[in-house]
Amino acid sequence: MHEMSLAEGVLQLVEDTARREQAQRVKLVVLEIGRMSSVEPEALKFCFGAVTRGSMADGAQLEIVEVPGAGWCMQCAETVPMEELYGACPQCGSHQVQATGGTEMRVKEIEIE
């Protein structure tokens, strides 16, 4: 389950930021996760709860914002919505679509005290 290593990475980033800001604890973490990122949000929430025990983020709320998929169709020369990597263009059916959004995962916001 790669969500565990992702949760550990998020915790490291969050704790580094909280220490730099001289915070006592982390209350909220907001993540943006692309629909095509191959990250299972519920598994990530479970893993985040496990890795934060005993840390400055223990008990922190994890909010996940889903980012829709998008791609550039080489046949249509347009940005199109995508549901899956390597999927067909919804306008022309071509498989020459390069993902331009929805594959990322990033920490968008951290609330500390």
Residue-wise pLDDT for 1-37, tens only, equals 599 999 999 999 999 999 999 999 999 999 999 999 9
pLDDT of residue 30: 98
pTM reported for the whole predicted model: 0.88
What span, in angstroms and rounded, lies between the C-alpha atoms of 107 and 34? 12
64-89 pLDDT, tens digit per residue, is 999 999 999 999 999 999 999 989 99
Full DSSP string of 53-77: TTSTTTT-EEEEEEEPEEEEETTTT
DSSP state of 13: H
Instruction: State how far the Cα of 94 lies from the Cα of 14, in Å rounded to an integer.
Output: 41
**Every domain of the chain and the residues it spans:** 2-112
Which class would CATH give 2-112?
alpha beta
Amino acid identity of 52? T
